[in-house]
Amino acid sequence: MQYLTIEMPVRLWQRVDGCVDNSMAVDVVDGIMESVSAGSCVRDAGWRASAAYSGDRDQFGWPPSEHLLPITLRRSHWDWTLSQLERWEPYETDGVVADARAVIGEAIRAA
């Protein structure tokens, strides 16, 4: 089992977290429990990385938007995360999903 830590700014992780949350909400209704389980692992890793930050937080409890969060996941969970970003990318209007995909994809290729 291969684990990979990828650092990304909070602002990118927030979009990853949102896409994963959307996927879990749809997939639980459709009974795709493998996806729901993967999403739980991904979101938990982000919550743990965010909780480790000891500085000031925004009104929603997040570290500053440019703070780098070190997210550690199984390689298979990173692959799943990329597929979920691709799933939701057509609905974005600001390019943040594409930026997150680029960071994750580059880190996976470099590993």
- Number of domains making up the chain: 1
What is residue 78's three-state secondary structure?
helix
Q: What is the pLDDT of residues 19-30, one digit of tens each?
A: 999 999 999 999
Q: What is the pLDDT of residues 62-76, one digit of tens each?
A: 999 999 999 999 999
pLDDT score of 1 more than 90: no
Site of tokens 């298979």: 76
Q: What is the pLDDT of residues 41-59, one digit of tens each?
A: 999 999 999 999 999 999 9
Mean pLDDT of all residues belonging to the chain: 97
Provide the CB-side half-sphere exposure for 4 (13 A, CA).
Answer: 20
Task: Residue 86: give the domain boundaries.
Answer: 3-110
> What pTM, to 2 d.p., does this model score?
0.94
pLDDT at position 65 is 97
